[in-house]
Amino acid sequence: MNLNEIKGIGPKTIEHLNKLNIYNIDSLIRYYPYRYNIFTPSKIDETTSAESTIIIPGKIVSEPKISYIKRNFNKVSFQFETEETIINVSIFNRAFLARNLKVGKFVTVIGKYNKINNQFVAADILLYKLISTKVEPVYHISSGISVKTISKCIMNALEKCPHVREVIPKYINDKYKFLDTYSSIKEIHYPSNTNTLKQARLKLIYEELFEFMFKINLIKYKNQIFDDFIIKELTKNDLQEILNKIPFSLTTDQIDAINDILKDFKNLKRMNRLILGDVGSGKTIVSFIAILLNKKAGFQSALLAPTEVLATQHLNNFTNLFKDIKVGLLVGSLTKKEKENILVKLKNNEIDLLIGTHAMLEDNVEFANIGLVITDEQHRFGVNQRKSLQNKGNKVDVLYMSATPIPRTYALTIYGDMDISYIKEKPAGRKDIITKQYKFKDIKKAVETIEDELKLGYQAYVVAPLIESEEDNELKDLKNIEEILTSNFKGKYQIGTLHGKMKQVEKDRVMNKFKNGEINLLLSTTVIEVGVDVKNATIMTIFNAERFGLATLHQLRGRVGRSSLQSKCLLISDKDTERLSVMENSNDGFYISECDFKLRGSGDLFGVKQSGEMTFKIADIRRDYKILLQCKKDTEEFILNNIETNFRDYENFQEILNDVINS
C-alpha cells in the first residue's frame, strides 16, 4: 500500500517522509522511536532537593506574565497550585507558550524547585495534567516534519492496515509468549506502560535478529548439502609460480589465508570464505592471488568493490602487478557503448577478471565461465547479496574481505555461514601510527604538525564529522574547518574538499587528484573511510573525534601508515573519552574492537552504520547479543525441522519464511 492512501498524508508530507527513508507503509510503521521520555509525577515535600529535576502536576492560579528581559530573552511566570502548596513557576524563552497558559488550566511543570524562595524554574511544561507515569516516544526527525505529524501518520497507517506479517514461526512466538507483531509495533509507538513496552521491544528485536540469523544459517545449510560442486585442479606449483611474481614477501597470515583458499578450491564444497583483516594488513593481494589461481584453473573472476574509486584503485594495482591477464572495468559511469562492449567480451570469455561496483550484480551481466566472486569491504553489502553472488553459477566460489575486525565470538555468529581466515599481522616495516589528542585551544599546534608533513612533500587527510544536531553550537562543521585550513595553507598548498552530497563523478575527480598528488590536503567527511590507499599520505586529522565510534576512528586512521613512512594521527576533541585514549594507546584493530564491544558507547555498530547487513531498525548486536545467540539456536533448529520442505526450491528468504510459517 502506498503512503498517499493514508489519511492526512499529502504530497508535501510524503516528501518529508522520503527524506527519512520512509517510502511505504511498512517503513512508516517501522520508523521506531530512538528513545523515550518517561514522565513520572512527583510531589513537593521535605525530600525535594534543589538539584534534581522533578515533574509536578497542578493548576495555574495567576494570569501568566511575560517579561522581555533582553532581545532573544524572555520569561513567563505564574503562580501554580500543586496538591500540597502554591509555588512560583517561571520558564525562560518560551513566550510562545503563554497563549496556552490560562488561569484555571491544569498543566504539568518539569524542572527544579528552590524551597528557600519558593521558585520553580521549569525546563518544560506539558499542557495537560500528568496523572500517572507516561512514556513518550522520541523520533529522529528532519526539518519540515514534527514528531506530532509522524506520530499521527503512523497512527493512521496502523488503523488503515491492522494486519502486519509475522516474521517468526508461530511455535516460537508461543514458546516465548511474545506479543503479536501488530500489537508490538503499536506499543512501540504508543506505549501503554513501561512493562508492555519492554515486551514489545523484545518481540521486535527478536524478530529482526531471527530473520538475520535465518538467512545466514540457510546459506550455511545449503552450502553443506549441495556437494556437487566443481573441483579446481591446482597444484602447489601453480601457487609458487604466482608468488614469484610478487615484488614483496608475504606475511605468514597472508600465506595462511592463501593456503585456505587453495584448499577450498580443491574441495567439493563451494568456497564461502571471509578474510577478516585489520586495515592495511594486505587483504587485496590475497584476493589477487586467488584470482590468478582461479584463472589457472580455467575460470573467470569478478571483484566487487563498494565504490568506483576503490574499483579503479584495484584495477590499477592489479594491472601494475600482473600483465598477462585480461581485465575489464564495469562501473556506473561508463557510457552505454562501453558497457555493452564489456558485456560482450565477458560473454565471449575475452575477459579474465571483471572489476566493478554494484552494476555487476545485475542480471544482464553474463559470464562465459565464472569461477570466483570476491567482495571487497564486505560489510558494506547485505546478506541478500551474499546469495545473489552465489547464484551466478554452480562453479562460483565466493570470497569476502572485511576490514572491520570484530571479536572472534561475534564473527562466528554474524558470519556463521562463512569460513574465516584472519590476517592480524601487518606487512614488515610498518610503523605504528603515532596518535595524539589535541584540544581546540591547541589547534595551532595541530596545524603546525600538519604543515610539517606537507613541507616534506607528504599529503594529509582532514576529516570533519557531518552536522547531525543543530543545537550543538560547538560542533565545528566542514565550513569552519575549511576556514581554519585555508587561512593557514592558502597559496602554499592545494586543498581539496570531499563530502557525501557531491556527485559521484565529482568525488572521483577530487579523489583522483589527491592520488596523483595534485591535491596536498584532502578535507573530507567520512566518505573516504573505506579502502583508499595513498602511500604518500602520512597524517590524518580527525575533528570532533569524540563523535565517532572506535571502529570508524580506526578505519579512518588506517588511511595513513600504508608504507614504511612514519605516520601520525591527530584527534581534535575537547572531551577526554576512554575511546580516544584507546586510540592513543593502540594500533591493533582486533584489540580496539574488543574495547569497542566493552565500552559500547553510543555511536555506530562496528563502524558500519551504512552497511547493508548490520543496519537493524531496533536490534543492536552488542546490546542484544544474548538474543542473537538464541536466534542462532532457534533458526538452526527451525531449518532442521523443516528439511522436508526442501529449501532448495526457494528463490528468496521471504518466500521461505512466509511458506513455512503459513503451512
* Residue 328 touches which of Mg ion, ligand ADP, none (Cβ within 5-8 Å per kind): none
Helix (H, G, I), strand (E, B) or coil at 217: helix
What's the min distance (Å) between Cβ of 456 and ligand ADP? 20
In 319-431, the DSSP E strands lie at 327-330, 353-356, 370-375, 397-402, 419-423
Instruction: Name the DSSP letter for residue 77.
Output: E
Nearer to ligand ADP, 278 or 634 (CB): 278
d(CA 436, CA 585): 9
Stretch that binds Mg ion, among 81-89, 214-222, 526-534, 546-554 (CB under 5 A): 526-534
What's the min distance (Å) between Cβ of 281 and ligand ADP? 5
* Residue 533 touches which of Mg ion, ligand ADP, none (Cβ within 5-8 Å per kind): ligand ADP
Beta bridge partners of residue 374, listed in sequence order: 303, 399
* Residue 427 touches which of ligand ADP, Mg ion, none (Cβ within 5-8 Å per kind): ligand ADP
* Residue 222 touches which of ligand ADP, Mg ion, none (Cβ within 5-8 Å per kind): none
CA distances from 642 to 631, 634, 659 (A): 16, 12, 11
CA distances from 443 to 221, 543, 643 (A): 55, 10, 63
* Residue 250 touches which of ligand ADP, Mg ion, none (Cβ within 5-8 Å per kind): ligand ADP
* Residue 356 touches which of Mg ion, ligand ADP, none (Cβ within 5-8 Å per kind): none
d(CA 352, CA 292): 9
* Residue 280 touches which of ligand ADP, Mg ion, none (Cβ within 5-8 Å per kind): ligand ADP
* Residue 382 touches which of ligand ADP, Mg ion, none (Cβ within 5-8 Å per kind): none
d(CA 349, CA 326): 10
What's the min distance (Å) between Cβ of 521 and ligand ADP? 21
Beta bridge partners of residue 543, listed in sequence order: 572
What's the min distance (Å) between Cβ of 312 and ligand ADP? 14
One DSSP character per residue, 237-254 reads HHHHHHHTT-SSPPPHHH
Instruction: Name the DSSP letter for residue 408.
Output: H
CA distances from 487 to 34, 91, 445, 447 (A): 40, 42, 15, 11
Decide: is 558 part of the binding site for Mg ion (CB under 5 A). Answer: no
Stretch that binds Mg ion, among 27-35, 170-178, 528-536, 589-597 (CB under 5 A): 528-536
Cell (9 digits) for 556: 579512518
What's the min distance (Å) between Cβ of 558 and ligand ADP? 6
Nearer to Mg ion, 126 or 246 (CB): 246
Q: How many residues does the chain have?
A: 663
d(CA 203, CA 615): 18
Contact criterion met (CB below 8 Å) for 618 and 208: yes
d(CA 453, CA 468): 31
* Residue 285 touches which of Mg ion, ligand ADP, none (Cβ within 5-8 Å per kind): ligand ADP
Nearer to Mg ion, 423 or 605 (CB): 423
What's the min distance (Å) between Cβ of 424 and ligand ADP? 11
What's the min distance (Å) between Cβ of 591 and ligand ADP? 17
What's the min distance (Å) between Cβ of 289 and Mg ion? 14
d(CA 594, CA 639): 32
Nearer to ligand ADP, 202 or 246 (CB): 246
Cell (9 digits) for 423: 590476517
Stretch that binds Mg ion, among 11-19, 208-216, 385-393, 524-532 (CB under 5 A): 524-532
* Residue 465 touches which of Mg ion, ligand ADP, none (Cβ within 5-8 Å per kind): none
Cell (9 digits) for 185: 509495533
Nearer to Mg ion, 33 or 531 (CB): 531
Nearer to ligand ADP, 404 or 525 (CB): 404
d(CA 533, CA 314): 10
Helix (H, G, I), strand (E, B) or coil at 117: coil
d(CA 258, CA 286): 6
Nearer to ligand ADP, 420 or 629 (CB): 420
Q: Which residues contact 484 (CB under 8 A, 6 or more apart)?
A: 443, 447
Nearer to ligand ADP, 150 or 534 (CB): 534
One DSSP character per residue, 586-612 reads ---HHHHHHHHHHH--SS-STT-TT-S
Tell me, by CB under 5 A, how many residues bind Mg ion. Answer: 1
What's the min distance (Å) between Cβ of 310 and Mg ion? 8
Nearer to ligand ADP, 89 or 261 (CB): 261
* Residue 522 touches which of ligand ADP, Mg ion, none (Cβ within 5-8 Å per kind): none
From the list 277, 356, 465, 531, which residue makes contact with Mg ion (rule: CB under 5 A)?
A: 531
Q: Which residues contact 208 (CB under 8 A, 6 or more apart)?
A: 616, 617, 618, 619
What's the min distance (Å) between Cβ of 403 and ligand ADP? 5
Nearer to Mg ion, 145 or 305 (CB): 305
Residue nearest to ligand ADP (CB): 282
Q: Render the burial of 417-440: b for 16+ CB within 10 Å, e for the rest.
A: bbebbbbbbbbeebeebebebbee
Per DSSP bridges, beta strands 397-402 and 459-463 are unpaired
Site for ligand ADP, rule CB under 6 A: 248, 250-251, 254, 277, 279-285, 403, 427, 531, 533, 562
Stretch that binds Mg ion, among 29-37, 40-48, 467-475, 531-539 (CB under 5 A): 531-539
Using CB under 5 A, list all residues that contact Mg ion: 531
